[in-house]
Amino acid sequence: MVRENPPVKEPDENDIEVGMPKNWAAGMPGVLHSMVPALEHMGVERTRKTLLSMNHKDGFDCMSCAWPDPDHRKAFEFCENGAKAVTWEATPVVVSSDFWAGHPVSDLLSRSEYWLGMQGRLTEPVYKPAGEDHYRPVSWDEAFSIVGNKLNSLDSPDQAAFYTSGRTSNEAAFAYQLFVRGYGTNNLPDCSNMCHESSGWAMGQTIGIGKATISYDDFGKADLIIIMGQNPGTNHPRMLTALEEAKDNGAEIVAVNPLPEAGLKRYKNPQQVKGIIGHGTEIADQFIQIRLGGDMALLQAVSKRVLDAEARNPGTVLDHAFLQEHCEGLEELKLHLAELDEDAVLEATGLRVEEIDELAARYLKADKVIVTWAMGLTQQKRGVATIKEIINLLLLRGNIGKPGAGASPIRGHSNVQGDRTMGIWEQMPPSFLDALGKEFDFEPPRDHGADAVKTIQSMREGGIKFFMAMGGNLVGAISDSNAAEAAMHGTEMTVQVSTKLNRSHAVTGSEALILPTLGRSEIDRQAAGEQFVSVEDTVCAVHPSFGKVEPVAAALLSEVAIITRLARATIPGKTSADWAGFEKNYDLIREHISRVVDGCEDYNTKIRQEGGFVLPNGPRDSRTFPTPTGKAVITVNELEHLDRPAGTLILQTLRSHDQFNTTIYGFNDRYRGIKKGRHVIFVNPEDLAELGLTDGQRVDVHGISDDGAERVLRNYRIVAYPSAKGCAAAYYPEANVLVPLENVAHGSNTPVSKAVIVRLDPAREQEPVAPTTAAGE
């Protein structure tokens, strides 16, 4: 079954082809696109076992995003990008034992993320001793004792940090945070720190819980769905089916985005005849092309119009009974918004008054409103305040805690929400720590730990010397790549638990280990038999996930096995945890989860019910708000927007259609008309004219910041693109070199990846440019 790695072909960035962007998403081409690489890489049998069991009730949970499964699952309930994710994981191509001798770390450092990922699955633990440039295979026992000895030699547990990426299962996450707290630190940074942290903060402070207040079925019941700062056609493609159903039921949809994203315009559903041969469904009734960072102003302006309408017709607009019984802070909001500077709103949003009026009219007409959002809102300096304004707007008309209405952050990684529920957070509340300590007879550390940005800052200052990652690619994902890599290089030991190679395996501490692990699609056999794991989706539904294909290598351990064996090598007897028992049978872990994690009582029983179970959620279920006063808090937020010095642009960093975060599947961004390359910057044609630049020209993109450090992306091709005026876009993770580490959102400390001030200079070395043609199908 195992295959040698084929030579990896990378495109020449000078041959990028640029065609017209698409105005529709998915449809049959989407499904076909997904099947071809799967069949090519995995063959018929493995393709059948993976693609056709993904998202089925006895199959595994798709690892591509946290979008929920409807109860009525269909055979096609996977999407093009889900298929890419599973093909990437379940590939039979492996990194062989002799790979390491031929590829020193210095060679890995010169390789792209694409090349690294294409080497195939990691199959055996490897170790790089201090002072050496090569990893070499080691036994599992050797690996655990190297790590355990290192951890026990540190002066303080706070000199270690333990990262988690959001694919880790609930069982592994629970065991991991127990090990880390048993060892003695709360340094548990995670990908969420760079992702929906702003949502968690804003919602926690206003409605008392940082999770969506809707269930899957609410989409079909809504009158109005407002999608802000999110590109579902690429990043949550199955959401388009829910939006189509909502439209069929009469809902209006508004998209707020600086870019006219394909999936927000029209959707061709591959499961319906009209999606295969017809025009598909028009998705957005109104497209609001907002400037980067302008959402806070837009939301305040709409709330002001709602309050004005109430003032004109008292008693008829606001949900007075709801506000009276469940909310506080309305009067302060009224006073604040009465002073709203409409000129500042137009400046911040770049919109016309009529567009804002139209959105307000739609909001006032609708009885049931859902607002969804993703990275366009969270990765902003004022991301927390912006999301608080969403809550304000929803509360005014009682749009929380009733069918068809609510606040819905759409999570990214498939189990990032579950990981948080299980205690992966550097700031878990005392009630959780108390329960954990009681359950396992130890005293958990109480000081808050370091988040992702603080971990890098602490490494730079010599504080954190040991770094372990349960999945992910922190140096690839975090801002200020050069600074982050220098900090990581300065540590004493790095340990990566991974399925495939990435940049974080090349940017090491003086000693480094790679511990390969099973993917979610693979069968997990332990002493007590085949194990399943559990995950939580973006609407708080928890369900089991069963691996289906043979593991790609016999030596692979599950994440749970790696954590429990490491705990035995590092902190035997420190807690009362039966680590060996955990590894044998994950039911034992779930028994503890039942007693420690709120809402997970009888976990082993509930997880075995058909379809799993839904975690309780006070605002959604009963309009109870677990805030200090028991009321939802309407907040007052000072309007702020970005100043853009003359001659500069605001840049957002986003995902192409051919990537999963730092994993690059390919070099096309079909919906945006890009083929064979990623080094492009999308710029509005009017901005180009003002800056004296042209489509196709090569430029160096300079990040402008106060610290005077040089941050530059060289030789990028300009693509004239209908982005909002003054707002450019380039692909993450490459563009991370431009984002200063200190540029973080107020409150959540999330890197501001969607608002970087840049200057474009003609490239130092001019390269020939391929002509613009109509690329794409």
Using CB under 6 A as the criterion, which residues of the chain lie in contact with ligand MGD when the complex forms? Answer: 64-65, 81, 165, 167, 191, 194-195, 228-231, 234-235, 256-259, 261, 290, 292-293, 295, 374-376, 379-380, 412-413, 470-474, 477, 497-500, 502, 517, 519-520, 559, 652-655, 659-663, 732, 735-736, 739, 753-754
| Whole-number Cα distances in Å, 73 to 53, 267, 316, 694 | 11, 19, 41, 48
C-beta closer to Mo ion: residue 401 or 412: 412
Q: Residue 506 CB, nearest distance to ligand MGD (Å)?
A: 12
Q: Which option in Mo ion, ligand MGD, none does residue 753 bind, with CB closer than 5 to 8 A by kind?
A: ligand MGD
> Alpha-carbon Rg of the chain, whole angstroms?
25
Query: Applying CB under 5 A, which part among 326-334, 412-420, 516-524, 663-671 lies near Mo ion?
Result: 412-420
* Residue closest to 619 by CA, chosen among 405, 453, 303: 405
- What is the smallest separation between the CB atom of 186 and Mo ion, expressed in angstroms? 22
Q: Do residues 222 and 66 make contact, with C-beta atoms less than 8 angstroms apart?
A: no
Nearer to Mo ion, 270 or 412 (CB): 412
Smallest separation, CB 239 to Mo ion (Å): 15
Peptide bond into 544 cis (omega under 30): no
Shortest reach from residue 551's CB to ligand MGD, in Å? 12
Q: Which stretch binds Mo ion (CB under 5 A): 115-123, 193-201, 665-673, 753-761?
A: 193-201
**From the list ligand MGD, Mo ion, none, which binds 653 (C-beta under 5 to 8 Å, kind-based)?**
ligand MGD
Nearer to ligand MGD, 17 or 295 (CB): 295
Cα-flanking dihedrals φ and ψ of residue 473, to 5°?
Answer: -155, 75
Binding-site partner at residue 660 among ligand MGD, Mo ion, none, CB < 5 to 8 Å by type: ligand MGD
Given ligand MGD, Mo ion, none, residue 499, with its beta carbon under 5 to 8 Å by kind, binds ligand MGD
Q: How far is the CB of 374 from ligand MGD (least distance, A)?
A: 3
Candidates 412, 423, 516, 551; binder of Mo ion (CB under 5 A) is 412
Cα gap 651→731, rounded to integer Å: 10
Would you say the C-alpha torsion 661, 665, 668, 669 has a positive or negative sign? negative
Q: Does 195 bind Mo ion (CB under 5 A)?
A: yes
Q: How far is CA 757 from CA 381, 427, 610, 747, in A?
A: 12, 31, 50, 21
Q: Which is nearer to Mo ion, 24 or 665 (CB)?
A: 665
Helices 586-596/170-183 angle, 10° precision: 70
Give the list of residues 6+ apart from residue 156 with CB closer than 8 angstroms, or none.
184
At closest approach, how far in Å is the CB of 682 from ligand MGD? 9
Coil, strand, or helix at residue 433?
helix
Helix (H) or strand (E) holding 117: helix 113-118
Among ligand MGD, Mo ion, none, the one that 293 touches (CB under a kind-dependent 5 to 8 A) is ligand MGD
CA–CA separation, 195 and 190 (whole Å): 9
DSSP 471: S
290 binds, among Mo ion, ligand MGD, none (CB under 5 to 8 A by kind): ligand MGD
CA distance 531 to 511: 33
Q: Applying CB under 5 A, what is the total number of residues that bind Mo ion? A: 2
Binder of residue 167, out of ligand MGD, Mo ion, none (CB less than 5 to 8 A by kind): ligand MGD
- Least separation, in Å, of the C-beta of 216 and ligand MGD? 17
Q: Which is nearer to Mo ion, 165 or 624 (CB)?
A: 165
Nearer residue to ligand MGD within complex by CB, 239 or 632: 239
CB of 663 to ligand MGD, least distance (A): 5
Q: In the sheet where 286-288 sits, what is the strand order?
A: 286-288, 252-256, 224-228, 369-373, 406-409
CB 588 within 8 A of CB 582: yes
The 10 Å CB-count burial string (b at 16+, else e) for 30-47 is bbebbeebbeebbeeebb
Nearer to Mo ion (CB atom), residue 553 or residue 730: 730
Q: What's the closest the beta carbon of residue 193 comes to Mo ion, in angstroms?
A: 10
Report d(CA 665, CA 731) in Å as an integer: 13
CB 651 within 8 A of CB 728: yes
What's the token pair of residue 250? 């009469």
Name the binder of 241 from ligand MGD, Mo ion, none, CB < 5-8 A by kind: none
Helix (H, G, I), strand (E, B) or coil at 729: strand
Question: Which of the listed partners (Mo ion, ligand MGD, none) does 230 bind, with a CB threshold of 5 to 8 Å by partner kind?
Answer: ligand MGD
Q: Nearest residue by C-beta to Mo ion?
A: 412
What is the closest distance, in whole angstroms, from the C-beta atom of residue 398 to ligand MGD in the complex?
Answer: 24
Among ligand MGD, Mo ion, none, residue 34 binds (CB under 5-8 Å by kind): none
Structure tokens at 618: 């006070």
Length of the chain: 777
User: Measured from the CB of residue 335, what is the shortest distance to ligand MGD in angstroms?
Assistant: 27
The secondary structure of the chain in percent helix, strand, coil, rounded to multiples of 5, reads 40, 20, 45
Euclidean distance between CA atoms 136 and 83, whole angstroms: 33
Positions in the binding site for Mo ion (CB under 5 A): 195, 412
